[in-house]
Structure 1
Amino acid sequence: MNENVRRISFFDTTLRDGEQAPANAMGPEDKLDLALRIEALGVDRIETGFPASSPSDFEATRLISKHLTRARFTTFCRAVAGDVLAAVEAGGTANHQVQVAATGSDLHLKYKRRITREQAIEEVVESVRLARSYGVESVTVGIEDASRGEDDLLRPMTERAVEAGATGFVVADTSGAMTPDGYAALIRRFRSWVPAETCIATHCHDDFGLSTANALAGLLAGADEVQATLGGVGERAGNTPLEEIAAILAYKEDETGLRTDIDLAAMYGAYTVLRRVIRLEEPRNKAIFGTYAFGTAAGIHQQGVLRNPATYEYVEPARFGRTRSVLIGRHSGRTVLRHLLEQLGLEPDDARLEELYRVHIAERTDGDCEDLEVIKERLRQELLPQ
Structure 2
Amino acid sequence: MSKRLISFLDTTLRDGEQAPGNAMTPEQKLKLALMLEDAGVDTIETGFPASSHVDFLATQMISSRLKKASFATFSRTQVKDVKIALDAGGHSDRHLVMLVATGSDLHLKNKRHITREEGLAEITEAVTYAKEQGLTNIAVGIEDASRAQYDYIEAITRISIQAGANQIILADTTGYATPTSFGNLIRYVREIVGPNIKVSTHCHNDLGLGVANALEGIKAGADEIQATIGGIGERAGNTSLEQVAAFLYYKGDEYELGTTIQLDKLYKIYLTLRDLIKLEECRMQPLFGKYVFSTAAGIHQQGILNDPDTYEYVKPMDIGRERQLLVTRHSGRTIIRHLLQELGVSPSDKEINHLYEKFINHSSSCDDLITFTQKIQNELEFQTFEVGVL
TM-score (norm. length: structure 2): 0.96
What is the letter of the counterpart of residue 203 of structure 1? Answer: H
What is the letter of the counterpart of residue 226 of structure 1? Answer: I
d(CA) in 2 for partners of 1:247, 1:303: 26
**Counterpart position of 1:55:** 53
Please give the per-residue CA displacement for 1:205-260, whole angstroms capped at 9, x wherever unaligned: 11111111110000000000000100000011001111000000011111111001
Matched, 1:188 2:187: yes
d(CA) in 2 for partners of 1:295, 1:93: 48
Unaligned residue ranges in structure 2 (runs of 5+)? 384-390
Does the CA-based 8 Å contact 1:43-1:71 persist in structure 2?
A: yes
Does the CA-based 8 Å contact 1:211-1:240 persist in structure 2?
A: yes
The alignment yields a C-alpha RMSD, in angstroms, of 1.1
Match of 1:331, SS state, is coil
d(CA) in 2 for partners of 1:381, 1:350: 19
**Counterpart position of 1:9:** 7
Change (3 A) 1:385 1:279: closer
Does the CA-based 8 Å contact 1:41-1:262 persist in structure 2?
A: yes
Q: What does 1:275-294 correspond to in 2, within 5 Å?
A: 275-294=274-293
What is the letter of the counterpart of residue 369 of structure 2? Answer: L
Q: Please, which of 363, 368, 373 is the counterpart of residue 371 of structure 1? A: 368
**Counterpart position of 1:70:** 68
Q: What does 1:1-386 correspond to in 2, within 5 Å?
A: 2-3=1-2, 5-94=3-92, 95-363=94-362, 365-366=363-364, 368-386=365-383
Q: Which consecutive aligned stretches of 4+ in structure 1 deviate over 6 angstroms post-superposition?
A: none
- Shift of residue 196 of structure 1? 1.3
d(CA) in 2 for partners of 1:19, 1:371: 35
- Shift of residue 385 of structure 1? 4.2
- Shift of residue 384 of structure 1? 4.5
d(CA) in 1 for partners of 2:378, 2:317: 30
d(CA) in 1 for partners of 2:208, 2:337: 40
Please give the per-residue CA displacement for 1:81-124, whole angstroms capped at 9, x wherever unaligned: 11110000011011211000000100111111110001111101
Match of 1:73, SS state, is strand
d(CA) in 1 for partners of 2:192, 2:127: 18
What is the letter of the counterpart of residue 372 of structure 1? Answer: L
- Shift of residue 168 of structure 1? 0.2
Does the CA-based 8 Å contact 1:344-1:380 persist in structure 2?
A: no
d(CA) in 2 for partners of 1:323, 1:28: 32
- Shift of residue 361 of structure 1? 2.3
d(CA) in 2 for partners of 1:12, 1:29: 17
- Shift of residue 347 of structure 1? 2.9
Match of 1:46, SS state, is strand
d(CA) in 1 for partners of 2:71, 2:382: 62
d(CA) in 1 for partners of 2:296, 2:379: 23
Unaligned residue ranges in structure 1 (runs of 5+)? none
Match of 1:169, SS state, is strand
Match of 2:40, SS state, is coil
Please give the per-residue CA displacement for 1:36-67, whole angstroms capped at 9, x wherever unaligned: 00111101100000000000000000101100
d(CA) in 2 for partners of 1:130, 1:277: 37
Match of 2:13, SS state, is coil
d(CA) in 2 for partners of 1:191, 1:67: 34
What is the letter of the counterpart of residue 90 of structure 1? Answer: A
Match of 1:370, SS state, is coil
- Shift of residue 380 of structure 1? 2.7
What is the letter of the counterpart of residue 118 of structure 1? Answer: E
**Counterpart position of 2:388:** none
Please give the per-residue CA displacement for 1:334-375, whole angstroms capped at 9, x wherever unaligned: 111121122222333333222111222234x42x31112221
